Amino acid sequence: MSEMVNQFYDAIRSGDVPALDALIDPEFCLICPTQDHVLSGVYRGKHRFFEEVTPHVFGSVQSDDITFCAAHESDC
């Protein structure tokens, strides 16, 4: 499981959409618990992730600027 988590964060950091597509289950759910943020909310389903989240992330920053996942740790 930890290898899959590492691949997920590596794909986000590098902007590798095909890798993300291969990793994410159709029933994927992303929860962004922040309030009053552009991505705040619950995104259920792979299609919502790709239609609503990735355009904001990959359309707003360069992949070199995505640092939130650079130091992730997985206990899986």
pLDDT digit string (tens) for 18-50? 999 999 999 999 888 888 877 888 999 999 989
- Alpha-carbon gap, residue 14 to 63, rounded angstroms: 5
Q: Which two tokens stand for residue 34?
A: 């922040």
Q: What is the pLDDT of residue 23?
A: 94
CATH of domain 2-65: 3.10.450.50
C-alpha closest to that of 13 among 53, 52, 70: 70
Would the pTM of this model clear 0.95, i.e. be above it? no
